[in-house]
Each structure stands twice: as structure tokens, then as C-alpha cells.
Amino acid sequence: MHNPLALLSPELVMSLAKHGFIAFIRQSYPRGKDHFDPDTIETFLITPYKTLAQANEHLLHISADHRKGIYHAANPEEMEKLMTAATQPKGYKVYVALLKVRKWKGTAQLQEKLKSYLQTNTKWKVKDGAIVADLYLHYGELMLKLVNPVGEIRLPLSEVERY
């Protein structure tokens, strides 16, 4: 599975808090598990929010995740736990809902899968014009936004990866 997200660090937590992020949602992040790394027990994703309403909406969306949680910037004990997670304790990988690179570009393998997905599921043709693919997160799930002159499609990255 393609994992384009950055690892969380204590410096990043401090910077996010300094820039007005007041809530941090924790959830399971299976995409972050490298199956060739036997030392990683569990992987998590942290998504920062500037409002509690947005954070609570995210929590509701992931209600079935038994590892979900919220850290409030106003609560020193919770922020201490988040800072500990940001140090990447042994056996854990903690990612943040930010891409590792500014401009995301899918791997060659992912581009082939996307081509196969589009051929199977759409009527889009090469003559329609170039397709622009952007990656974004929606409640912790990686999503693709595909745009060409004919239209726009939004779908989970995992759906394209099946092809």
C-alpha cells in the first residue's frame, strides 16, 4: 500500500499547536504498517483540527475504530501523551495527516492501477484531455480527486489500488 504521509514529531506537534490547532484525533492507520518491518506493532494517524466541532465530526465518522482518541491542546496531560507518541516509541509508528512532499505524484505502479481503474469504471478517454490527480485526506482516509475537462471523480485511494 502506498503511504505518502509524514511521521509525527514533537517539533511538528509544537508548531501545529502554535498555529492554532486545538484538537488532535488519533486513529488506527493500517496503511502505515510496513509488512517488512517486524518491529512495528501498531501504526496510528494523528489529524489536527482548529475547532472542536471538526474534531468531533471526525470522531463520529471513525466511531468503529477501537483505537480512536482525542488530544486537547488545553489539557497538559493529553498533550504530554501526544508528545510521547510523537517521539515514535519503540514498536509504534505515528503519522500525521500531512503529505511527506509538497506536490504528490503517484508511483508508476499506482499510475498503472489508476489507468486500469479509469478504463474499467469510466468513459474517460485520452482524447478528453490530461487527467490531474490530487491526493487528500478525508477523516483519515486517503482519497483521490481526479479532474479532466470532462468532469471530476473523488474516490478512496484503496479502491484504485485494487486494480
The whole-number pLDDT of residue 23 equals: 98
Collapsed DSSP state (helix, strand, coil) of residue 39: coil
Instruction: List helix spans (H) across the chain.
Output: 10-18, 52-61, 76-86, 108-121, 157-161
Amino acid letter, residue 122: T
Question: pLDDT at position 70, please?
Answer: 98
CB 140 within 8 A of CB 29: yes
Report the range of poorest mean pLDDT among 45-49, 112-116, 128-132, 136-140: 128-132
Q: Is the model's pLDDT at 143 over the cut of 80?
A: yes
**pLDDT for the residue 102:** 74
Which whole number is the average pLDDT over 56-82? 98
Per-residue confidence band for 71, with pLDDT thresholds at 50, 70 and 90:
very high
Instruction: Extract the C-alpha cell encoding 87.
Output: 517521539
pTM across the whole model:
0.89
Q: How far apart are CA 72 and CA 48, in angstroms?
A: 10
Q: What is the pLDDT, as a whole number, of residue 129?
A: 78
The yes-or-no verdict on residue 121 having pLDDT over 90 is yes
* The three grid cell numbers given for residue 90, joined into one nine-digit string: 519503540
For residue 102, give the DSSP letter: S
**pLDDT tens-digit map of 11-64:** 999 999 999 999 999 999 999 998 888 899 999 999 999 999 999 999 999 999
Q: For position 61, what pLDDT does the model report?
A: 97
**Position 131 confidence tier, pLDDT thresholds 50, 70, 90:** confident
CA distance 4 to 137: 11
Question: 105: closest CA among 135, 131, 126, 129?
Answer: 135
Render pLDDT for 99-111 as a digit per residue (tens, 0 to 9): 887 777 888 899 8
